[in-house]
Chain A
Amino acid sequence: MALDTLGDSVMLTRLDHLANWVRKNSLWPMPFATACCGIELMATGASRHDIARFGSEAMRFTPRQCDLMIVAGRVVMKMIPVLQRIWQQMPEPKWCISMGACASSGGVFDTYAVVQGIDRFIPVDVYVPGCPPRPEQLLQAVMDIQDKVTRTGTFNAREFAQRTEFDGPRFSLPDVPPTAAVVAPGNYQSAKRLQD
């Protein structure tokens, strides 16, 4: 039989599993660093902590080459259209880490200008607590993403297509009832943001 002569050079596996195995060991991060968490993100990439041990050292500053967005730092309201556009420009499949207290919840900046958690506007897979988190925590988050890719990933990323409901938190009642004055950028492409 021909199979007898092949020896160890053949492996049987599922295509999903193979794709996950390839993807999880070469996550390319998009560093969306806006504040002090960005410094810890740089430290994570530097030699002492060396994110390259987990295959994620290829930080790219164009979203089109990335599949892991790391939002490090506080995000202001004015930047949400930018953040959403960068997220949309990343090719599928893609994942998102919300690094630090500010990106995850607004942190101490509970003001009119600061977004109270980016998960209200884009999907987030892993949250990293800390102010700022240690590099070890970010490495753990990368390992969690790898675990998630292993468990849920599919070859053609169909696991994302099924998630048509927004899975972030809903706004509770607005802090101040929105009067007619300020409303809704809503759709930044049409950019008509004032209520009639």
Chain B
Amino acid sequence: MSNEELVGVLREKFGDGIRSSQFRDNFRIHVEAARVHDVLAYLKHDHGFDMLVELCAADYLRYPNATDRYGVWYCLLNVSTGRRLIVKTFVNDPSPRLPSVFDLWKGADWMEREVYDMYGIEFDGHPDLRRILLPDEFTSFPLRKDYPLRGRGERHNFQPITRAEA
């Protein structure tokens, strides 16, 4: 099944909200956030995309011609045929949310935690959604474009030790 045929099948099943784009050899399917879990489940069960290679996000704040704030993409791989596919969706402030795909691919666990850690996008249905890289007490989401590169004073927050103390 060619990429165009796949888009046709998806449009038939999930409506005209499905769009597609191509960048070099990356074929991308754009889905609205409400349908993304259904589309991914369909792709996994009926088209054999049994591996979630990557789940990541980007902040499109002040990006030229961007209409939504956060983009989240799922890179899928069909292990038997070697076919790859990218599913992309967008969410917006305030409270960006997406359904978790942990029930489809267990590997989504840490990837969704990382996206939550860096962008603050919450995944409904994730079994253990907490920070994975940053300290637990961190309150910002540092890969958001409105977060200053040098932080908001987090680097200064530990007590120095003097020679007399240790």
Known contacts A161-B164, A166-B160: does B151 contact A194 (CB below 8 Å)? no
Assess whether B148 is in contact with A175, with CB atoms less than 8 Å apart: yes
The yes or no answer to A188 lying at the interface (CB within 8 A) is yes
Q: Among A121, A160, A175, which residue has its beta carbon within 8 angstroms of that of B163? A: A160
Stretch at the interface among A48-56, A97-105, A111-119, A131-139: A111-119
Assess whether A175 is in contact with B151, with CB atoms less than 8 Å apart: yes
Assess whether B164 is in contact with A185, with CB atoms less than 8 Å apart: no
Task: Count residues of chain A with CB under 8 A from any CB of chain B.
Answer: 45
Main secondary structure of the interface of A (DSSP, over half): loop
Assess whether B163 is in contact with A193, with CB atoms less than 8 Å apart: no
The number of A-B residue pairs with CB atoms under 8 Å apart is: 113
Assess whether B163 is in contact with A176, with CB atoms less than 8 Å apart: no
Task: Count residues of chain B with CB under 8 A from any CB of chain A.
Answer: 27
Main secondary structure of the interface of B (DSSP, over half): loop
Stretch at the interface among A4-12, A19-27, A75-83: A75-83
Within 8 A of B (CB), among A135-169: 160-168
Question: What string of 1s and 0s marks CB contacts (under 8 Å) between B126-166 and chain A?
Answer: 00000000110111101000011111111111111111111
Assess whether A123 is in contact with B163, with CB atoms less than 8 Å apart: yes
Assess whether B156 is in contact with A174, with CB atoms less than 8 Å apart: yes
Known: A112-B152, A191-B137. 16 other contacts (CB 8 A): A77-B154, A110-B149, A112-B154, A114-B155, A115-B155, A120-B160, A121-B161, A162-B164, A163-B164, A168-B160, A171-B156, A176-B150, A176-B151, A182-B157, A187-B159, A193-B137
